[in-house]
Amino acid sequence: MAEAARLHAQARVELGDAPAMLRQLCDHFTEHGTVTRQGDGARLEGPYGTVEVAIEGGALRLSAVSPNETYLFVVKSYLAEHLFEFAKGEPFGLNWQGDAPTPAQIPYFREAVVRGAHTLTPAMRRVILACQDTAHFESGGLHVRILIPPAGREPIWPRVGADSRIIWPMAQDELVRRVYTIRSIDHARKELAVDVVLHEDSPGSVWARNARPGDRVGLLGPGGGDVIPADWYLLCGDETALPAIARIAASLPTTARATIVIEVADRAEEQDIRSDAAIAITWLHRDGAPAGSTDLLSKAVRAIGRPDVGSLFVFAGCEQRAARDIRKHLRSEWKLAKDCCLVAAYWRHGHTEVRDHGE
pLDDT per residue over 148-205, tens digit each? Answer: 999 889 999 999 999 999 999 999 999 999 999 999 999 999 999 999 999 878 899 9
Please tell me what DSSP assigns to residue 99: S
Q: How far is the C-alpha of 263 from the C-alpha of 318, rounded, in Å?
A: 9
Q: What is 6-20 written as a DSSP string?
A: -EEEEEEEE-S-HHH
HEC string of 43-73? EEEECCEEEEEEEECCEEEEEEEECCHHHHH
Confidence band for 352, pLDDT divided at 50, 70 and 90: low
Torsion of CA 115, 131, 141, 48, to 10 degrees: -150
Q: How far is the C-alpha of 335 from the C-alpha of 243, rounded, in Å?
A: 27
Confidence band for 263, pLDDT divided at 50, 70 and 90: very high
Would you say residue 258 has pLDDT above 80? yes
Which pLDDT tens digit goes with each residue over 24-63?
Answer: 999 999 877 899 998 889 999 988 899 999 999 889 999 9
CA atoms within 13 A on the CB side of 154: 0
Would you say residue 246 has pLDDT above 70? yes
Would you say residue 358 has pLDDT above 80? no
CB 113 within 8 A of CB 132: no
Quick one: how far is CA 262 from the chain centroid? 19
**Summary mean pLDDT of the chain:** 93
User: What is the structure's pLDDT at 1?
Assistant: 39
CB 2 within 8 A of CB 66: no
Q: How far is CA 116 from CA 110, 205, 244, in A?
A: 18, 15, 20
What average pLDDT score do residues 131-158 get? Answer: 94
Q: How far is the C-alpha of 43 from the C-alpha of 35, rounded, in Å?
A: 6
CB 203 within 8 A of CB 309: no
Q: How far is the C-alpha of 285 from the C-alpha of 238, rounded, in Å?
A: 10
Q: How many CB atoms lie within 10 A of CB 326?
A: 25
Would you say residue 4 has pLDDT above 90? no
What average pLDDT score do residues 198-215 get? Answer: 92
Q: How many CB atoms lie within 10 A of CB 136?
A: 19
User: What is the structure's pLDDT at 354?
Assistant: 42
Q: Are strands 341-347 and 312-319 parallel, antiparallel or unpaired?
A: parallel
Which pLDDT tens digit goes with each residue over 278-313?
Answer: 999 999 999 999 999 999 999 999 999 999 999 999
Q: How far is the C-alpha of 230 from the C-alpha of 251, rounded, in Å?
A: 12
